[in-house]
């Protein structure tokens, strides 16, 4: 998401060394003549083994609130800890996985042509990847076409005097339920919201501030970056292909 002088983006890296390498490349790029345009780079790292998250986007509560339907609200995702595994995939499975991520709507026959395998082989590999939860399907509504006004990302730093479990139990339900992607660890958390109207943003902010004043749970005031969807260049798809290629260390060209 780019707009209002801010950029927000997410990625997945194998380790802290890759993150440090990215930061150094950023600093190296903005040298000499580019130095005057160097932006402040704030990074937040959530190691999988130490964090909880939703990890897959969930827009169902946001869509339900937007339409104001007289039906039960869909269940929100709960931030969970996930075990880290080393994928034991053959080269053909890796190529098929990348093809699935690059073209999620492609048929098995179309993917077979791309990865040079039989359709039956691709079907077998796809089923294995789904059954073993290497991939999952999500629905990403194009909310910028619905007149949504705001994208807000909130970064909070928490006091370590309050136990992580206690914090999760007392946090305000509405803003957390409406976050389509949430990451959390003992001393930090990030939430992401697509908001249809400014009034809704103000209500969510009021809930968060009420929690702050009541619990004194923050180390400092949350940092909230607000993007006007009308005036910014937004990411309209979630492209995981470059990340998957990097994590699998494939030799394929981007």
pLDDT tens for 140-188 read 888 878 889 889 999 989 888 888 888 888 888 888 888 999 999 999 9
Q: Given this model, what pLDDT does residue 237 score?
A: 63
Kindly state whether residue 152 falls inside one of the protein's structural domains: yes
Kindly state whether residue 11 falls inside one of the protein's structural domains: no
Shared-domain flag, residues 128 and 145: no
Of the candidate ranges 38-42, 130-134, 139-143, the one whose mean pLDDT is the lowest: 38-42
Tokens of 121: 């082989």
- The number of domains in the chain is 2
Q: DSSP letter at 146? A: T
| Maximal C-alpha separation, the chain | 61
pLDDT exceeds 70 at position 234: no
SS3 of residue 91 by DSSP = helix
Tokens of 73: 């609200």
Shared-domain flag, residues 67 and 191: yes
Question: How far lies 142's CA from each of 86, 130, 164, 196, in Å?
Answer: 33, 25, 34, 12
Domain extent at residue 126: 91-138+237-248
Tokens of 117: 């395998």
Kindly state whether residue 28 falls inside one of the protein's structural domains: no
pLDDT exceeds 80 at position 16: yes
Distance CA 21, CA 13 (A): 11
Q: Given this model, what pLDDT does residue 212 score?
A: 72
Residues 6+ apart with CB under 8 A from 168: 79, 184
Which CATH number do you get for residue 146? 3.30.70
Shared-domain flag, residues 65 and 96: no
pLDDT exceeds 70 at position 136: yes
Shared-domain flag, residues 172 and 209: yes
Question: How far lies 177's CA from each of 58, 100, 141, 192, 226, in Å?
Answer: 9, 29, 17, 10, 19
pLDDT exceeds 80 at position 137: yes
Shared-domain flag, residues 59 and 122: no
Shared-domain flag, residues 104 and 224: no
Q: Given this model, what pLDDT does residue 114 score?
A: 92
pLDDT exceeds 80 at position 69: yes
Shared-domain flag, residues 97 and 132: yes
Task: Report percent pLDDT > 70 for the chain.
Answer: 96
Shared-domain flag, residues 111 and 199: no
Considering the entire predicted model, what is its pTM? 0.84
Kindly state whether residue 23 falls inside one of the protein's structural domains: no
pLDDT exceeds 80 at position 39: no
Find the DSSP H helices in the chain: 16-29, 60-67, 91-102, 108-115, 119-131, 164-170, 173-177, 198-215, 241-248
183-214: burial string, b at 16+ Cβ within 10 Å, e else: bbbeebbbbbbbbbeeebbeebbebbeebeee
Q: Which of 186, 237, 242 is nearest to 1 (CA)?
A: 237
For residue range 70-89, list pLDDT tens digits in order: 888 888 888 888 888 877 89
CB 53 within 8 A of CB 46: yes
Kindly state whether residue 38 falls inside one of the protein's structural domains: no
């Amino acid at each position: 998401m780019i707009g209002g002088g801010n950029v927000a983006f997410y990625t997945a890296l194998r380790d802290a060394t890759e993150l440090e390498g990215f930061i150094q490349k950023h600093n190296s790029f903005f040298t000499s003549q580019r130095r005057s345009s160097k932006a402040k780079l704030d990074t937040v790292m959530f190691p999988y083994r130490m964090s909880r998250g939703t990890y897959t986007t969930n827009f169902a509560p946001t869509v339900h609130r937007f339409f104001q339907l007289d039906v039960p609200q869909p269940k929100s995702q709960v931030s969970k800890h996930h075990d880290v595994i080393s994928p034991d995939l053959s080269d053909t499975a890796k190529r098929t996985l990348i093809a699935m991520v690059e073209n999620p709507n492609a048929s098995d026959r179309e993917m077979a042509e791309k990865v040079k395998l039989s359709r039956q082989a691709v079907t077998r590999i796809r089923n294995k990847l789904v059954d073993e939860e290497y991939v999952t399907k999500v629905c990403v509504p194009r909310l910028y076409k619905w007149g949504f006004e705001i994208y807000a990302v909130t970064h909070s730093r928490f006091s370590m005097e309050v136990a992580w479990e206690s914090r999760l139990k007392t946090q305000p339900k509405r803003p957390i339920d409406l976050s389509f992607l949430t990451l959390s660890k003992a001393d930090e958390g990030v939430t992401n919201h697509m908001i249809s109207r400014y009034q809704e943003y103000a209500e969510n902010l009021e809930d968060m501030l009420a929690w702050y004043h009541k619990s004194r749970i923050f180390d400092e005031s949350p940092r909230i970056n607000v993007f006007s969807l009308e005036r910014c260049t937004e990411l309209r798809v979630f492209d995981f292909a470059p990340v998957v290629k990097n994590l699998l260390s494939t030799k394929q060209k981007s």
